[in-house]
């Protein structure tokens, strides 16, 4: 009878921010699943709603100015129905979160030990001594040298890479089955980024947790993700296993994005691909029709669906709208 459910299921999630008396959806009808032992990358440019999606799952929005609809199912519970007290049992215990800026996301006035230990205090019965042992274990796990010393330090005394390791240790403290990482390497140098990504993949291998990795960097996606969802203007426009997405991108937005990555030019007159126009602001976003249509004006209008939905075009590969079938870059033949 029991249906095998995913580790985390997001169903028709809508997150609207209040502008005056009207709510505008920054996340619009997003559905996705996360399995154990999987890295799901959510990739998109600023303003596409990817970070809002993360904070909505965590229930961290200000309820006065936000309206959230839909479901976030975890262990047969819809998290969005939980009151603050019950939600706090989930946060940090079942879902851990890693933020972008490792300096800003640590409290400057608290020692490393206190910041990691705080997470244990609310979710475990460990006594002081056991917490200390666990903090040491965590610092070792995230590859921090001299953990005995470091845990007495304050955040500003560590390098950027070390700080991000501490942030990861905080997220891991209670061995949460789900980890949400919001741009975890964006503020880091490239060599440190590589180390942190390796660390996250290793930890996932060890713990078997499911990771939602939010990023704008397609390189990070290619290096770490198992599955990718591409977001544009609050919606998922394409979803596929990582190899499939890079080898066989379908949605015009995904293809345009991949084409605008800086690379070595073969011909001096070559130029990078530029997407027409700009992302519309939340208030001006058209709520009907293909949201990417204004940015590919050379594609005939009747190529788009009236109400675009995700279509599974091959196993596990989903694309929104039908315009991809008719898409070609401007100036190229169909």
Partner 1 sequence: MGFLEVRDLKVHYPIRGGVLNRVQDHVKAVDGVNLSIESGKTYGLVGESGSGKTTIGKTIIGLEKATSGKILYEGEDVTNKARSRNKKFENYNKDIQMIFQDATSSMNPKKRIIDVMSEPMRNYFNYTPQETKKRVADLLEIVGMNAEAMYKYPHEFSGGQRQRIGVARAVASDPKLIIADEPTSALDLSVQAQVLNFMRRIQKEYDLSYLFISHDLGVVQHMSDDIAIMHRGRFVEQGSKEEIYKNPQHIYTKRLLSAIPDMDPTTRAAHKVERQRVEAEYDAQETDYYDPKGRVYDLQRYDEEHYVALKPEEPNASLQNENVNTGGGN
Partner 2 sequence: MWKTIIRRVLLMIPQILILSILIFILADFMPGDPFTGLVDPNLDPAQLDAMREAYGLNDPLPVKYVRWMKNALQGDFGRSFNYQQPVTAVIAGRMGNTIRLSLLSIILTYLIGLPLGILAGRYNESILDKTVLVYNFVSFAVPIFVLALLMVWVFGYNLNWFPARGSISVNAVTQWDKWMSQLYHLLLPSITTAILGTTSIIQYLRSEIIDAKVSDYVKTARSKGVPIQKVYTKHIFRNASLPIASGFGFTIVSLFTGSIFIEKIFTYRGMGYLFLQSINTRDYSVIFVLALFYGFLGLIGTLLSDVILMAVDPRIRID
**Strand 39-43 to 210-215 pairing:** parallel
Tell whether residue 123 is a contact of partner 2 (CB under 8 A): yes
Residues in 43-72 at the binding interface with partner 2, rule: CB under 8 A: 55, 58, 60
Among 167, 245, 299, 323, interactor with partner 2 by CB under 8 A: 167
Among 71, 118, 223, 226, interactor with partner 2 by CB under 8 A: 118
Of 19 and 122, the one with the shorter C-beta distance to partner 2 is 122
Among 11, 29, 33, 154, interactor with partner 2 by CB under 8 A: 154
- To partner 2, the closest distance from the beta carbon of 167 in angstroms equals 7
- The sheet carrying 77-78 orders its strands as 22-34, 8-19, 66-74, 77-78
Binding at 122: pick from partner 2, partner 1, none (beta carbon under 5-8 Å per type): partner 2
Burial class (CB in 10 A: 0-12, 13-18, 19+), 72: buried
Tell whether residue 156 is a contact of partner 2 (CB under 8 A): yes
Binding at 198: pick from partner 1, partner 2, none (beta carbon under 5-8 Å per type): partner 1
Of 60 and 261, the one with the shorter C-beta distance to partner 2 is 60
CA atoms within 13 A on the CB side of 15: 26
Q: Are 6 and 33 in contact (CB under 8 A)?
A: yes
Q: Are 9 and 181 in contact (CB under 8 A)?
A: no
Tell whether residue 164 is a contact of partner 1 (CB under 8 A): no
**Strand 178-182 to 210-215 pairing:** parallel
Distance CA 50, CA 67 (A): 16
Tell whether residue 29 is a contact of partner 2 (CB under 8 A): no
Under DSSP, the state recorded for 60 is -
Tell whether residue 106 is a contact of partner 2 (CB under 8 A): yes
Give the interface segment with partner 1, choosing from 9-17, 30-38, 92-100, 270-278 (CB under 8 A): 270-278
Binding-site string for partner 2 from residue 284 to residue 323, where x marks contact by CB under 8 A and - marks none: ----------------------------------------
Residue the block writes with tokens 């997407």: 275
Helix pair 160-172, 112-123: axis angle to 10 deg? 10
Nearest of 323, 174, 179, 166 to residue 254 by alpha carbon: 323
Nearest of 235, 190, 240, 191 to residue 217 by alpha carbon: 190
Q: Which helix (H) or strand (E) holds 86?
A: helix 84-90
Can you say how many angstroms the Cα of residue 81 is from the centroid of all Cα atoms in its chain? 22
Residue the block writes with tokens 């961290």: 60
Token output for 300? 């005939």
Tell whether residue 243 is a contact of partner 1 (CB under 8 A): yes
Distance CA 274, CA 255 (A): 11
Among 60, 86, 261, 309, interactor with partner 1 by CB under 8 A: 261
Distance CA 106, CA 153 (A): 12
Residues in 180-209 at the binding interface with partner 1, rule: CB under 8 A: 189-194, 197-198
Among 122, 206, 294, 309, interactor with partner 2 by CB under 8 A: 122
Of 91 and 291, the one with the shorter C-beta distance to partner 2 is 91
Tell whether residue 230 is a contact of partner 1 (CB under 8 A): no
Of 179 and 299, the one with the shorter C-beta distance to partner 2 is 179
Residues in 33-52 at the binding interface with partner 1, rule: CB under 8 A: 45-46
Q: Which residues bind partner 2 (CB under 8 A)?
A: 55, 58, 60, 84-85, 88-93, 95-97, 99-101, 104-110, 115, 118-119, 122-123, 154, 156, 167, 170-171, 173
Q: Which residues bind partner 1 (CB under 8 A)?
A: 45-46, 160, 189-194, 197-198, 216-223, 225, 242-243, 246-247, 256-257, 260-265, 271-275, 278
């Amino acid at each position: 009878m029991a249906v095998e459910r995913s580790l985390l299921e997001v169903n028709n999630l809508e997150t609207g921010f209040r502008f005056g008396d009207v709510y505008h959806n920054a996340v619009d009808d997003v559905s996705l699943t996360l399995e154990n032992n999987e890295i799901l990358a959510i990739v998109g440019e600023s303003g596409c709603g990817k970070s809002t999606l993360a904070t909505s799952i965590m229930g961290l929005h200000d309820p006065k100015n936000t309206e959230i609809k839909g479901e976030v199912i975890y262990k047969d519970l819809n998290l969005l129905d939980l009151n603050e007290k019950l939600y706090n049992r989930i946060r940090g215990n079942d879902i851990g979160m890693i933020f972008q800026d490792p300096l800003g996301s640590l409290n400057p006035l608290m020692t490393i030990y206190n910041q990691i230990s705080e997470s244990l205090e609310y979710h475990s019965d460990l006594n002081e001594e056991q917490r200390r042992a666990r903090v040491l274990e965590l610092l070792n796990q995230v590859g921090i040298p001299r953990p005995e010393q470091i845990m007495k330090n304050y955040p500003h005394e560590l390098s950027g890479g070390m700080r991000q390791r501490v942030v990861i240790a905080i997220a891991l403290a209670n061995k949460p089955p789900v980890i949400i990482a919001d741009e975890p390497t964006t503020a880091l140098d490239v060599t440190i980024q590589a180390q942190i990504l390796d660390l996250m993949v290793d930890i996932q291998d060890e713990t078997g947790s499911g990771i939602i990795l939010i990023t704008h960097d397609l390189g990070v996606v290619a290096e770490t993700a198992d599955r990718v969802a591409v977001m544009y203007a609050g919606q998922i426009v394409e979803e596929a296993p990582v190899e499939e997405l890079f080898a066989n991108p379908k949605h015009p937005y995904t293809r345009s994005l991949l084409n605008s990555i800086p690379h070595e030019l073969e011909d001096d007159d070559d130029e990078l691909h530029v997407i027409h126009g700009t992302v519309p602001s939340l208030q001006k976003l058209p709520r009907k029709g293909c949201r990417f249509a204004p940015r590919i004006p050379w594609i005939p209008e009747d190529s788009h669906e009236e109400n675009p939905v995700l279509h599974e075009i091959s196993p596990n590969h989903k694309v929104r709208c039908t315009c991809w079938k008719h898409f070609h870059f401007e100036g190229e033949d169909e």
